Amino acid sequence: MFYASAGFPIVANQPGLKRVAWQIHGTDWHDWNLTALTTPEQVAKAWSQNPAYCPGLVTGSISRVLVIDGDVKGGQNPAKELADWSEATGIEIPEGPIARTATYRDGRRGFHRYLYLPDAAPVIDTVTGWLPGVDIICEQRQVLLAPSWNDKRKLNEARGEGLADQQYMWQLPGFRYGFETRDYYPTGEDLRESLEEAVAPAGLLEDILKHGASRTEKERLAALKEGLPTGSTVDIKGLVLDENGHINIEWYEQNGAPDQFQNKVLLKMATKLLGYMGQPDEVAIERCWTYIQKCENTDPTWPWTREDVEYKVKKVKKYIAQDRAKKQAEKQAEMDEAVEALNNFLKGIRS
């Protein structure tokens, strides 16, 4: 509750997952800023239903928080990438609050570095792959906060890992992104003060806006366009489409997708299979699962499961049903309006 007391907008996530708790926020919301809990009373009421909920911070303009997400699950070294970028540009990234995430690979831990958005800062969208292994999390997104944990994180007992290694934890100065950690629990006031002293440099924001993910995407897109089936194309978002402009299911079933596209491709495949093609649930689940098995599992601590696929396919089916019902209601309303207009016209003639 101290996060809300310090003025941070919070969402509740299911225990051990980065999945917004529908019991608190419902299922029909589309705006992170509107669904966020912004008072200690709202947070206390939510957590009274389940003290095991994982807290998430809504980033962007509502909180004035930008997070640099260092991801090591693909074997990258995000801390070195950031240091190299700072040296090349001459832009120093301030030492604000930092937390380790639950990911660990090759002697390195994933991390979140928190920066404060300055007055009149432009809207910064979330960027996957700003640098190799480095994402920018900002407008209309969330990051899990300590003491959230990753229930799927498999512990390595031989390495001496314990339950704490499943958690997101704040770090004292001197944390070097390795196995050794400097876990601590700050007060809300300390966290707020440390954050507001770490103002995101203008040069950093300009670079994010200018380059986005173009550095890491350029080579991937060039390789992707080579050897595509006849009639297939790559859209501006980097997705492979068939000759009709829909997601190319057959291509993804054979090739999978990189981390940043896996969930998006899965949802688009389910939408095409259930909606456009009218396939049964079982077929959609099986084909989506075939695709997921072709995706490279770069995070051994958080693998996809068939249950994950089934959950997402069923969620898409629910959305399609709601969308069709909405369109049917709109069509019926238009017909009723036309009938009423015709009746009024005929009444006028008869009179």
What average pLDDT does this structure show over 81-85? 95
Tell me the whole-structure pTM to 2 decimals. Answer: 0.67
Q: 208, 130 in Cβ contact below 8 A?
A: yes
pLDDT (tens digit, 9 = 90+) per residue, 20-53? 999 999 988 889 999 999 999 999 999 999 999 9
d(CA 136, CA 238): 18
What angle, 0 to 180 degrees and rounded to 10, lies between the N-to-C axes of helices 259-271 and 306-350?
Answer: 50
Q: Where are the alpha helices (DSSP H) in the chain?
A: 2-5, 22-25, 32-35, 40-49, 78-89, 188-197, 202-211, 214-225, 249-255, 259-271, 281-294, 306-350
Name the percent of the chain lying above pLDDT 90: 52
Q: Is the pLDDT of residue 300 over 60?
A: no
